[in-house]
A and B are shown apart, each in its own frame.
Chain A
Amino acid sequence: MRWRPHITEAGIARAVVILLAFVALEVLCRVGIINRVTMIPPSEMVASLWSILITGRYNEDILFTLFNVIAAALIAIVGGFFVGAALHGLPRLRRPLVPLLSAWYAIPTFVFYPLLIVAFGVGRTALIVMGALFGVVAMIVNTTLGLDHVPPAVAKTSAILRLGSLRRLMLIRLPSAAPHLVTGIKLAVAYSVIGIVAGEFILATQGVGKRIAFSYDNFDNRTMYGMLLLLLVAVMAVNGALSGWEKRLHRRFGAR
């Protein structure tokens, strides 16, 4: 089925608003109302980003952060999935944990970072642990939620069909939980990125966050904004793709 762009009045208005915002920003910067020390014009930000990608001079930092994010996200996703599945099967353990899990993103988990530095030293381990810690709970919560949402009627049907428990898991429970699992993956990735880049801002030897902080300290606005744009674009692209996957699954599986 071909995807036809869904053009609506609201969509057009939105595009206009965003375009106007960019143009306004560009003009304000060029004219000098926003001075260069604070912000460079968006067109120059794009040029800086382009040059960073072409010359590859910060590739080491970029790869450092990328590796950290992937590692943290994988730990958060896989670890979160198994913990979530285990909790789902152990309701007696799950019940008292619920308030802690739901409060996790209400408490500033960030403050663990100094502790992690003390434990692991300044380096990628502390960053990966920080990112994973930040993201894992989103995966746990969404896994349990997804497994909850196997409708009892579906579960009973699978029993009537006399499926073995492994087949039941693979054919019925996992696919049934899929929309929520993908939501969990999306959140785990997003939180891992936040955890790691923020950690790099605060204290690190390399990485995208470190590079941004370093450029800031040295008044190198061009590099700073170029890297910021890189981060923004990368995050939006990944988040957008995962969101699209999530929406498709939710639509296909219907509202629960």
Chain B
Amino acid sequence: MKSTRFDYLLLLAGMLALWQLVHWAVGPDVLSSPWATIRRAGELVATRAFWDHAAATATAFGIAGVISILAGIALGLWLGLRRFAGDVADPILGTLYSIPKITLYPIILLLFGLGVSAKIAFGVIHGVFPIAIFTMSAVRNVAPVYHRTARVLRLSPAATALTIMAPAALPEMLAGIRVGVALTLLGVLIGELFASTSGLGFALIRAMDTHAVADIMAITLLLFVFAASVNALLGFVERRARHGG
């Protein structure tokens, strides 16, 4: 719709203008201008150092993401299919999800030391719970009429699970994965912010120590663009799985 797209542009322009105004108010030592930020981002992307850091973050993020997804789905499926286990676990999972994971960071550092595995562990503790919770909910919330239909069609339990439950639960599971993946990235980055020697989070801390404002903003901008793209992509996949349903 034409007017909506125009509104987006208007909003974007407004936000850039606001950014520029604040920059003029506080000076380049606190906030770089939009143009300076974009230019610096362009410079960074051309350096080897940036890509080394990006690779470190991406590797940890990738591994943590895969572990979160596999473990989360497995846990969620088990708890979703076994009614009693699910009833018992539901509030426990909810509480674990709402605990600020920061309380677990020192424990993770003690367990894994200062290295890649700690970063991955941070990512996993952030991502696994929403994925498990959403998956469990997706399986349990499969419409009862689908269960009855499966029985009237005289499907075996395996056929029911594969041909009806799985596709019915898929959209909500994908929603959980989208949330979990975003939180996994957050976990990995926070881990890098305070306990790492590589990765983009670490690069941010270094830039902060050397007061390189343009660097901080450029890296932040690049991270935002990356995270938003991943989120949009997963959202697209989720919508497709709904088939309008």
Which A residues contact B (CB, under 8 angstroms)? 8-10, 13-14, 17-18, 37-39, 92-93, 95-97, 103, 105-108, 110-115, 117-119, 190, 193-194, 197-198, 201-203, 209, 212-213, 216, 224, 228, 231-232, 235-236, 239
Contact B182 A107 (CB under 8 A): yes
- Out of B91, B217, B228, name the residue touching A14 (CB < 8 Å): B91
Known interface pairs A106-B231, A115-B216; A216-B106 also in contact (CB < 8 Å) = yes
Q: Inside 8 A of B185's CB, which chain A residues have their CB?
A: 108
Contacts A/B (CB < 8 Å), 19 sampled: A10-B88, A18-B92, A39-B107, A106-B182, A107-B224, A107-B228, A110-B186, A111-B193, A111-B219, A114-B205, A114-B207, A118-B213, A197-B103, A201-B102, A213-B106, A224-B106, A236-B95, A236-B98, A236-B99
Chain A residues contacting B84 (CB-CB under 8 Å) are: 9-10, 13
Kindly list 11 other residue pairs between chains A and B, CB separation below 8 angstroms, not including A37-B110, A115-B208.
Answer: A13-B88, A14-B88, A17-B88, A108-B185, A108-B227, A111-B219, A111-B220, A118-B30, A198-B102, A198-B190, A235-B100
- Which chain A residues lie closer than 8 Å to B186 at the CB level? 108, 110
Classify the interface of chain A: helix, strand, loop or mixed: helix
Q: How far is the CA of A8 from the CA of B91 in the complex (A)?
A: 13
Which residues, 195 to 245 on B, are CB-close (under 8 Å) to A?
Answer: 201, 204-205, 207-208, 211, 213, 216-217, 219-220, 223-224, 227-228, 230-232
| B178-196 contacts to A (CB < 8 Å) | 178-179, 182, 185-186, 189-190, 193-194
Contact across chains for A231 and B100 when beta carbons are under 8 A apart: yes
Task: Report whether A113 and B100 are in contact in the complex, using a CB–CB cutoff of 8 Å.
Answer: no
Q: Which of B11, B101, B213 has the most CB of A within 10 A?
A: B11
Q: Is the CB of A118 within 8 A of B228?
A: no
Q: Which candidate, B2-10, B47-55, B67-75, B132-140, is the interface stretch facing chain A?
A: B2-10
CB-CB under 8 A for A115 and B220, given A13-B84, A103-B228, A202-B193: yes
CA distance A110 to B189 in the complex (A): 8
Instruction: Report the bound CA distance from A236 to B97 in whole Å.
Output: 11
Q: What is the CB-to-nearest-CB distance from B219 to chain A, in angstroms, rounded to a whole number?
A: 7
B164 interfacial contact with A, CB 8 Å: no
How far does the Cβ of B117 sit from chain A's closest Cβ, in whole Å? 14
Q: Which residues of A contact B211 (CB under 8 A)?
A: 118
Cβ–Cβ contact A209 & B182, under 8 A:
no
Of B109, B217, B220, B223, the contact of A216 (CB 8 Å cutoff): B109
In the complex, B17 has a CB within 8 A of chain A: no
| Given A37-B110, A108-B223, A119-B31: A96 touches B4 (CB 8 Å cut-off) | yes
Instruction: Across the A-B interface, give the 8 residue pairs with the lowest CB-CB distance, nearest first.
Output: A114-B208, A106-B182, A10-B87, A106-B231, A107-B227, A96-B11, A202-B194, A194-B100
List, in ascending order, chain B residues with CB within 8 A of A115's CB: 31, 208, 213, 216-217, 220
In the complex the two chains form, what is the Cα distance from A137 to B115 in whole Å? Answer: 33
Max count, chain B CB within 10 A of own CB: residue among A8, A96, A103: A96
Contact B11 A97 (CB under 8 A): yes
* Among A93, A105, A197, contact of B182 (Cβ-Cβ < 8 Å): A105
Report B237 CB to chain A, min CB distance, Å.
14
Chain B: minimal CB distance from A136 (Å): 16
Are A201 and B105 in contact, CB atoms less than 8 angstroms apart? yes
